[in-house]
Chains A and B, each alone.
Chain A
Amino acid sequence: DQQVKQNSPSLSVQEGRISILNCDYTNSMFDYFLWYKKYPAEGPTFLISISSIKDKNEDGRFTVFLNKSAKHLSLHIVPSQPGDSAVYFCAASDPQTGANNLFFGTGTRLTVIP
């Protein structure tokens, strides 16, 4: 059963506009959330993260928002650039595993149109 869900398999956005990628989770024990970006034929690269004690974390053009009551997080990219076109995975860490094992969503393919 998928504990982390990304319900939008794809998203297209015009260059310069905001991209919003969404993620929902079911396990209330998750205590840390991460976003990864993946280009074809490469491994995922870490993008940004947020602890469950915060509701927002910002790093340049990227902001992650966490709504614990709704078990929902989102990634905002402003402004979107063509180089942002990739598959984005959200992930959540389960502290009960002892090794901070990550549970991943199925990914959203973002296309930024020039």
Chain B
Amino acid sequence: DAGITQSPRHKVTETGTPVTLRCHQTENHRYMYWYRQDPGHGLRLIHYSYGVKDTDKGEVSDGYSVSRSKTEDFLLTLESATSSQTSVYFCAISWGQDAYEQYFGPGTRLTVT
């Protein structure tokens, strides 16, 4: 098991409130990723990081921001949650540019009411 934890595992929040999800790894992997999983869409990349303070946008980044101040932590923030952001969020890690395999955390189920 890759040492990846996500917190919280479940969250219900109201429209318009900010939400932060945390991904923590103990593997010292360079790359970290945030995905969302929705029916009919599979997993879609939100943001990714290729090092401390180095982040970039993925396919579905609107309404999300990220921060990585330490190698082990990657935070995903929904600035003002909307019902369309109700989803399951997965964090993933990989070694680096020569590694293709990504290893996933257990996920966070977020419901925006």
Contacts and interface: CB of A to CB of B under 8 A. Distances in A.
A106 interface: yes
B101 A99 contact: no
Q: Which of A36, A44, A99 has the most CB of B within 10 A?
A: A99
B42 A43 contact: no
B58 A104 contact: no
Contacts of B103: 46
Given A44-B43, A106-B40, A100 B104 contact: no
A34 to B, nearest CB: 7
Nearest to A47: B101
Taking residues whose C-beta sits less than 8 angstroms from the other chain, chain B's interface range is 20 to 34
Interface of A: 2, 4, 6, 32, 34, 36, 41-46, 49, 89, 91, 93, 98-107
Interface of B: 4, 31, 33, 35, 40-45, 48, 50, 56, 58-59, 90, 92, 94, 97, 99-107
22 contacts: A2-B42, A4-B42, A34-B100, A41-B106, A43-B92, A43-B104, A44-B90, A44-B104, A89-B43, A91-B43, A93-B100, A99-B31, A99-B97, A100-B31, A101-B45, A101-B48, A102-B45, A102-B100, A103-B59, A104-B35, A104-B43, A107-B42
